[in-house]
Amino acid sequence: MGTTVSLKVLSLVAIASLLVFEEWVSTPACNLVPFEDPKFEDDPEDLKVMLVADLLLLGSDSAYFTLFFRDYYMAKFFRKSFESLKPDLLLVLGDISAKGSELTRSKWTSVLRQFYQILGPFVGLPFHAVLGDRDIGECSDLDLNKVNWISRKLPGLDPSGCGAFEINNISFVTLNAVALLCGDNSLRFGIEKVIERESLEFRNETGEINDSTKTTDADYNFLWRVHSMSSGSGPVILLHLPLQQTGSQCQGAIDTLKRSPISLIEELNEVSKTREHIGAGPYKLFHTLPQNASEYILQALKPRIIFSAHRHAFSDHVHFDQTREITVPAMSWNARDDPGFVFATFQKTGRAMSISYCSLARESHILLVYISIMVLFCFFCLKGY
């Protein structure tokens, strides 16, 4: 009788401990990324943005382990992040799907359904998504009709996978970075037109139109106007593939310590090897936009800041013109054991902003806790008998 009561008490304690553990482990740990920026003071009117990337969802092809463990915790990660940080906007920087370029429309629909289920009650939060290479494939296999169809399923994207919107006086421009890798492709020409249009609009808004223009011809025949807009005066740029990092400062992953590009690439390769079940994407993790396309974006749009993804790891880089680029880490155990995301706060007045890197629990640590509890429970059960 005493043994039965002890087992019941032990079971209740174990269940209660697991519930407390799940709540605690689901809370993100956010650290402010140091940067020499104008003095930033918190204001309730500031725009708070949660940026995630590389969710790598499998939709109807998901295994039971993914559906009942990974998706369960991913939903808790989103819920606790929304509750603790209270973002005004959610941005998804590409690769929502792990194998989107290979999927039929019905399977793509299942991926989107899976994404909305993970968001749960917070699906009503304003959000905007970017197309990644896993979503639409590489240049040689780009299907314009498929790109158009996927773009129509995501809010705010035009048929080419680009978009522009404004919230709280902060302007955002989304670019289909994969198309900028292509050669003579109608989709790439469409992206160039979007960049030129947005450049002209911002020059009109700021009154910085300069009649004297100069054109520069690069390998891809990119053309841009040299104008009087100062660096950092343009919109926030959102794209999946990072710009080529030629310039001054680069802060590497997670601990924000300065690291060499070679060491960062080595880490990226290690991350990809540990998660081979999702398959390799069309482009390697250290792939970037070519130099001419990168300079084209910097010169034409004068970005306030750039947010990119693809590398599965966090980095903070400053380009030659002092434009800051934040690479958002993968928020998926399908990509790495220690997922994370970025939380940005934009000052309503002025151009100051703060960037925080938010880390989430390691999958291996959570599995270890579950296994330990099961082993201890079985030990006490056997000991009781």
Percent of the chain with pLDDT over 70: 78
Rounded CA Rg of the chain: 23
CB 297 within 8 A of CB 303: yes
Q: Is the pLDDT of residue 2 over 70?
A: no
**Angle, CA 234 vertex, CA 231 and CA 235 arms, to 5°:** 135
Give first-to-last CA distance, the chain, whole Å. Answer: 12
Q: Is the pLDDT of residue 243 over 70?
A: yes
Supply the pLDDT for residue 19.
79
pTM: 0.86
Q: Two tokens at 241?
A: 């593939």
CB burial class (10 A; 0-12, 13-18, 19+) of residue 165? middle
Supply the pLDDT for residue 245.
80
DSSP strands (E only) in the chain: 29-32, 47-52, 89-92, 127-129, 163-167, 170-174, 236-238, 247-251, 305-308, 315-319, 324-327, 340-346, 353-359
Q: Is the pLDDT of residue 222 over 50?
A: no
pLDDT digits (tens, 9 = 90+) for 60-116: 999 999 999 999 999 999 999 999 999 999 999 999 999 998 999 999 999 999 999
DSSP symbol at 313: S
Helix residue spans in 26-96 (DSSP H): 64-65, 71-85
CB 354 within 8 A of CB 85: no
